[in-house]
Structure 1
Amino acid sequence: MVKLADQEGRLILRPDLCVIGAGSAGLSVASIAASFGASVVLVEKNRMGGDCLNVGCVPSKALIAASLHARTMREAGSFGIGGGEPSVDFAKVHAHVKGAIAAIAPMDSGERYRAMGVSVIESEARFTDAQTVVAADQVIEARRFVIATGSRPAVPPIPGLEQISYLTNETIFDLAEKPEHLVVIGGGAVGVEIAQAYRLLGAEVTLLEAGERLLAQEDPEMASIIEGALRSDGVVVRAGSSISRVEPAEAGGVGVVLDSSETIKGSHLLVATGRKPIVDDIGLEAAGIASDASGILVDKGLRTSNRRVYAIGDCAGGAGAGARFTHVANHHAGLVIRNALFRLPIRVGQAPIPRVTYTAPEFASVGLTEAQARKEHGTIRILRWAFADNDRARTERRTEGHVKAVVTPRGRILGCSIVGAHAGELIMPWVLAMSRGLKVSHLAGLIYPYPTYSEVTKSTAVEFLKPSAQNPWVRRLVSLVRRLG
């Protein structure tokens, strides 16, 4: 990497890549590029690891893991094991969550990336023109730039919200005491995960969703199973609840006033109403980079209106924007490396992207829902298999949910949704099949170990073949072979 000094004495760096943001997307670009011998400058003004490590995926899954242990104790009696209501030490739960972050943090640390050969600058970054970024009094004139600034919680304009203390995913994992009554606004993935986890840990929880159902972007048949599971656990689910305002309540709590004039009182309020891209204060206008409410506008090759600059992960918007998942950000990173370092053509949107909501049972999906498939393809087939008909699920009393696959009449897989134990793992054969153009009959033909949850995939796929057994020509062939002895 070329290093010079300008007239003001500032160090000028001329690397192959300058990456702005050290979350999942930025870290992936930096590590892959460095492994190929490219010179990389990585700029991050906050904590290394970004939202996923510090306030997102890692702490939420650690909290969920603790809550599932509490559920296991309650259910132990069904297996002949002494159980009952667990004693939850929430301070220790909090320590477990923070411990999980601390255990993973060294993998995302500045020290590790410097050891890879990446120049890490802990500072704000700002474009001063179309080909220059300034960070910590250093001038970076990179061959290519990658913006990976991520997203932050989107807070709706609810009257009174600015006058009370409320939680988002950036602050809820700092709670060291169990909320007496947590009110959650938002029935998306984050809302339902946190609502169920806190309920299983013993808090009273009310979940408010303005729409008519939870997980509105998913197949309603499958989402209804998740709603039923939350209700069964004791979460008070109020779908179709429009909020008029929020206001302070006695004893330091909060009151959420609905349009119906009913007031929901709680000790804590979590706002989980989506994300918005972080695109401010980095000098986009000076660099000639266009953006709108969806984020930094990128094409299908993840390039911005400034051809030297890519935007990836949660901050990307426009034609190339994808779902705001960590694995999508990592996928973007791999694509950008191919184009920025090797000039290989890339195009976003060709790979099937799985989605997982980490409730109990889990909800995983990929591709089209039934409604989307009918709209796009007309005639389709729906294949189902219940976990209640899987022997391993029976032995472990994890029989909630089923697999629902959407295929063409010829067996091409258009989408799959799974609600059940280990759904996040079980979705992967369907993702592989879709990405490689395999038909559902290929999944039916595999040999699956018995007894495993993976057999739900085989059982679902075999459903596609069953009508063939009723084919009169097949039956005539069987009859003919019988006559031949």
Structure 2
Amino acid sequence: MAVNYDIVVIGGGSGGLVLASAAAQLKAKVALVEKDRLGGDCLWFGCVPSKSFLHTAKVAHQVQQGSRVGVYTEPPKINFAEAMGHVKRAIATIEPHDSPERFEKLGVEVIFGDGHFLDEKRFLVNGRQLTARAFVIATGSRPKIPLVVGLQEAGFMTNEQVFSLTEQPKSLAVIGSGPIGCELGQAFHRLGTAVTLFTSSDRLLPKEDPDAAAILEQQFSQEGIKLLKNARLKRIEIVQGKKYLYTENNSQVVAIADEILLATGRRPNVESLNLEMAGVEYNKQGIIVNEKLQTTNSRIYACGDVIGGYQFTHVAGYEAITVLKNALNPLPIFLKSIDYRIIPWATFTDPEVARVGMTETQARKRYKDVMVLKLPFTAVDRAQAEDATVGFNKIIVRKNGEILGAHLVGIMAGELIQEIVLAMTHRLPISALTGIHIYPTLGEINSKTALLLSKQNYAENQKLQCFLSRFFKFWRSLA
């Protein structure tokens, strides 16, 4: 069968846009199908609006904390509508980069419509049958809505509605303690909303290093955020316009809120694609792919949130490049495998929490010679100068200096971890981090932490210490 395109990309979010742009610039014939707007969750409901909102909240908090460094002001007046205006301006400024016009100039045919597969080789949209040498599914994910009695009647928000608010809620119940729940919960609280954060776990950020999560929990407590641990929301009642929240096996009200924000995970967008007819298998986590990111139909690939796994914008882009190399490769023997060995991420709370590689527990299960190098931000002069000493750097290594993972919690953790990511990517030993760093900068935390390995090895080497003591004593005798 003759094909219309080299690649048909289904979904105009982060992964789909990277793939369509790169393929078109390589002069492949590309169709990009999107049922709503280009930009995906990241532009409209995720990274861009959330980080803009967090910035507003951080400014408010810095004003409130000015007295710590001798700057006294009146309590800040929060104009919530104007704060949301900053969010909208950020989206509007970035949106042209994801606009249909830009992609059309690159040579991509942009098709807006809700399509589905007719069979293993044809995709139908707007009455048109599209055929291609390769299809790529990059339809992303959407918020997962838990089954809670009275939830629909009470009403709720997810990240898809929260940035459309024009009036600030006086009180907010945040359900979920992952990155979205923690980031937005802290931001709303700093702007003056009374926040209660529900977590079904015994701590915040269950996927992060426990020590790092404990630092963030301490910060939340100091700021006055109410945290309910091991709390699964089971029932909601409306009483005089207020939302009364109940947890499992609890007949007592645990929280009363004006609004509810759900941050309880994501689910893949697969229902309308008719994947069964295309021979593509999927489950609750998402579309099933192999290490080449091929689905169970070898001419159909998938990337981004729709395959589950690491649900981050930068990972979707990384997966898209792997798909590009494979989908445009005429020789199947040279298909590339995705490498998830080094995937960094950050939660942009204050303090930030960043991670790459293994946790301490994971490392000890795999290796016997694990060493943990940990340095607090109090040991960094720039952190002292900026009154930002909360947190630490923890790097997990083997005795030979191989870096297995890193966990930072503190100021600019998401930026500082990049140096460690680079070292791990190129399989450099931790000694590579001990090179000269500008003084005084926060980046010194990496070099100072890396030096701990040499210090610990030296402290444990009694023979070397004895030899050096005798050597210098002998040398002095010759002077």
- Decide: shared fold, TM above 0.5: yes
Q: Distance in 2 between matches of 1:475 and 1:142?
A: 72
2: CA distance, partners of 1:57 / 1:119: 26
Aligned to 1:303: 294
Matches of 1:378 and 1:205 in 2, distance apart?
Answer: 43
Cα deviation digits, residues 280-307 of structure 1 (max 9, x gap): 1111011111111111110111000111
Of 308, 311, 315 in structure 2, the residue corresponding to residue 324 of structure 1 is: 311
The answer to whether the 8 Å contact 1:249/1:265 transfers is no
CA deviations 1:145-188 (Å, max 9, x no partner) are: 00000000011111211222100011111111111000001011
Moved more, 406-415 or 453-462: 406-415
Would you say the 8 A contact 1:352–1:434 is kept in 2?
Answer: yes
User: What's the CA shift for 1:82?
Assistant: 2.9
> In structure 2, which of residues 366, 382, 388 is the aligned counterpart of residue 392 of structure 1?
382
Alignment match of 2:101 (pick from 102, 111, 132): 111
Distance in 2, matches of 1:280 and 1:365, equals 33
Does the 8 Å contact 1:76/1:84 carry over to 2?
Answer: no
Give matches, 1:467-478, under 5 Å. 467-470=456-459, 471=461, 472-473=463-464, 475-477=466-468
The answer to whether 1:233 aligns with 2:223 is yes
Deviations 1:413-460 (A, max 9, x none): 11100000000000111111111111111212x110000000000010
- The alignment status of 1:26 with 2:16, answered yes or no, reads yes
2:297 alignment partner, SS class: coil
Secondary structure at the aligned position of 1:83 is classed as coil
1:386-437 C-alpha deviation (Å, 9 max, x unpaired): 1111100011100000001111122111110000000000011111111111
One-letter identity of the residue aligned with 2:81: A
2:327 corresponding residue in structure 1: 340
**1:478, distance to aligned residue in structure 2 (A):** 6.1
2:234 paired with 1:255: no
Distance 2:239 2:402 in 1: 55
Q: What is the rounded CA distance, in whole Å, between the counterparts of 2:307 and 2:466 in structure 1?
A: 56
Q: Write the mapping of 1:116-155 to structure 2, written as runs, cut at 5 A.
A: 116-155=106-145
- Structure 1 counterpart of 2:303, which letter? I
For 1:156, which of 146, 152, 172 is the aligned residue? 146
Distance 1:478 1:468 in 2: 17
Residue 296 of structure 1: SS of its match in structure 2?
Answer: coil
Structure 2 equivalent of residue 447 of structure 1: 436
CA contact (8 A) 1:360 1:421 kept: yes
Q: Which of 445, 454, 460 in structure 1 is aligned with 2:449?
A: 460
Equivalents in 2 of 1:65, 1:202: separation in Å? 15
Asked if structure 2 preserves the Cα contact closer than 8 Å seen for 1:59 and 1:173, the reply is: yes
**Within 1, Cα distance between the matches of 2:180 and 2:411?**
19
Q: Which residue of 2 aligns with 1:292?
A: 283
Tell me, yes or no, if the aligned pair for 1:469 and 1:475 is still in contact at 8 Å.
no
User: Secondary structure of 1:388's partner?
Assistant: helix
Q: How many Å separate the matches in 1 of 2:469 and 2:431?
A: 21
Q: How does 1:55-454 map to 2 (within 5 A)?
A: 55-251=45-241, 253-259=242-248, 260-263=250-253, 264-317=255-308, 322-342=309-329, 343=331, 344-444=334-434, 446-454=435-443
Q: Distance in 1 between matches of 2:205 and 2:470?
A: 50
Shifted more, 181-190 versus 403-412: the winner is: 403-412
SS at structure 2 position matched to 1:244: strand
- CA-to-aligned-CA distance 1:72-91 (integer Å, 9 cap, x gap): 10122222223342110000
Distance 1:59 1:249 in 2: 32
For 2:226, give the aligned amino acid.
V
Query: Residue 34 of structure 2: which of 44, 47, 62 is its match?
Result: 44
Show structure 2 runs of 5+ residues with no match: none
Q: Is the 8 A contact 1:77 1:84 kept in 2?
A: no
Residue 146 of structure 2 aligns with an amino acid whose one-letter code is P
Q: Please, which moves more after superposition, 168-177 or 340-349?
A: 340-349
- Mean Cα displacement is larger for which, 238-247 or 465-474? 465-474
Instruction: Kindly indicate whether the alpha-carbon contact (under 8 Å) linking 1:75 and 1:84 is maintained by their aligned counterparts in 2.
Output: no
In structure 1, what is the Cα distance between the partners aligned to 2:29 and 2:465? 64
Give the Cα–Cα distance (whole angstroms) in 2 for the partners of residues 301 and 405 of structure 1: 31
Q: Deviations over 1:36-95 (max 9, x none)?
A: 111100000011100000001111000000000001101222222233421100000011
1:7 counterpart residue number: none
After superposition, the C-alpha distances for 1:286-329 in whole angstroms (9 at most, x for unaligned) are: 11111111111101110001111001000014xxxx31111110
CA distance in 2, matches of 1:67, 1:398: 17
Show structure 1 runs of 5+ residues with no match: 5-12
Q: What are the Cα deviations for residues 350-377 of structure 1, in whole angstroms up to 9, with x where unaligned? A: 4400010000000001111111111222
What is the aligned-residue identity percentage? Answer: 41
Aligned length: 469
Q: Distance in 1 between matches of 2:92 and 2:77?
A: 25
Matches of 2:274 and 2:83, distance apart in 1: 41
| Alpha-carbon distance in structure 1 between the residues aligned to 2:27 and 2:268 | 31
